[in-house]
Amino acid sequence: MIYLDNAATSWPKPPEVLKAMTDVLELAGGNPGRSGHRLSIAAAREVYNAREDIASFFNVADPLRLIFTSNATHAINVALRGLLKPGDHVVTSSIEHNAVMRPLRSLEKQGVHLSIVPCAADGSLDVRDVVRVMNSRTRLVAITHASNVMGTILPIAEVASVAHKAGALLLVDSAQTAGTIPIDMPAMGIDFLAFTGHKELQGPPGIGGLAIGDNVDISEIEPVMRGGTGSHSESEEQPDDLPDKFESGTLNLVGIAGLHAGIQWVKDRGIDTIRAHLKELTLALINGLSELPEIKVYGPLDTNSTVAVISFSVHHKRVSEVGLKLDEEYGILCRVGLHCAPAAHKTMGSFPEGTVRLAPGVFTTMDDISTTIRAIEQVIHS
């Protein structure tokens, strides 16, 4: 089996991740922050150590501003629904995942004004187009770091500069970049960073987070969920201090331990080494696909401008047929369709059919890529 669906969920997971998840259940299985006995204290220690290391990974000075969520979608909703009020103006791009588009469309019905900046067909964004839609009511710019459909990397630092000059904040969806591209929040001007654990951070599903920059006034953000936090139990009001304001209910201790181990694995391996490996695989895929007849490759062809996400279609073949044959006849696992990002497909001209998406990961080899190219060539002629 060749697994090329890492943009959805990375697989396999490093053994260290699996061990960390088992160990925390065996050795620290209490409820963090809810009791004073040894297992609860051990669990709380694991959570805080993970919070410190993950905050450091994104260069967040105060680990208490690292909020654990169930995934990037949850984190995006915490930021969007907590910050935006009727009358506010928000800017986004035309290649966003539905994790951004759906909450924005919902907020638009509630009186939030939305501007969608069109990207080019390859997903690239001209920052001047962002400037053109900014106004005095712009509260937030919410964009992806890299497209989950065509891999295009957006100019985050430049967008941050534009947003801040207009008095707005910047929310970045890093689902496709965290773990493969270095992210330094202060240096890049990111105010809110939504990330997920189950992709290239090598963690399990069900864990992610929202990192909040130092210049964000927490008092202006309403929690989207309220409940028990283990702190201020004498009050029936939600605590105002971090991270409790945004972390109601029992935390996913096993997921946190797995994410912590995954990030440590990425650090030990070296993010530059990981990036170089993925660029090599991506280039081989682009070159191999480009040589095949009747195939259209979408997005940038320069690996410096993209992450390891390649979309293509085959003339006169449905993408579902291509994906099914790759799986059933060749043991190659990919994703087909719209990838939860219809806006991106409309931008690049592949809506409503969608594309076949190949997403190699850290454990993918060059032999895997060669085998995949040969298999696609056979599918074309079948």
List, by residue number, the catalytic residues: 340
Give the Cα separation of 122 and 119 in Å (integer). 8
Q: DSSP assignment of 13-53, as one string?
A: PPHHHHHHHHHHHHH--S-TTT--SHHHHHHHHHHHHHHHH
Residues 6+ apart with CB under 8 A from 38: 30
SS3 content of the chain, % helix, strand, coil (to 5): 40, 15, 40
Say if residue 352 is preceded by a cis peptide, omega within 30 of 0: yes
Query: Sign of dihedral through CA atoms 322, 323, 328, 333?
Result: positive
Which residues sit opposite 115 in a β-bridge? Answer: 91
Give the Cα separation of 355 and 312 in Å (integer). 5
Give the Cα separation of 110 and 77 in Å (integer). 15
- Strand order across the 355-358 sheet: 295-298, 310-314, 355-358, 335-337
Residues 6+ apart with CB under 8 A from 102: none
Give the Cα separation of 72 and 362 in Å (integer). 21
In terms of Cα–Cα distance, which of 149, 72, 144, 94 is closest to 358? 149
CA neighbours closer than 13 Å in the CB half-sphere of residue 110: 13
Q: Buried b / exposed e across 71-99, counting CB within 10 Å, b at 16+?
A: bbbbbbbbbbbbbbeeebbbbbbbbbbbb
Give the Cα separation of 1 and 9 in Å (integer). 16
Give the Cα separation of 357 and 131 in Å (integer). 32
Helix or strand (DSSP H, E) at 197: none
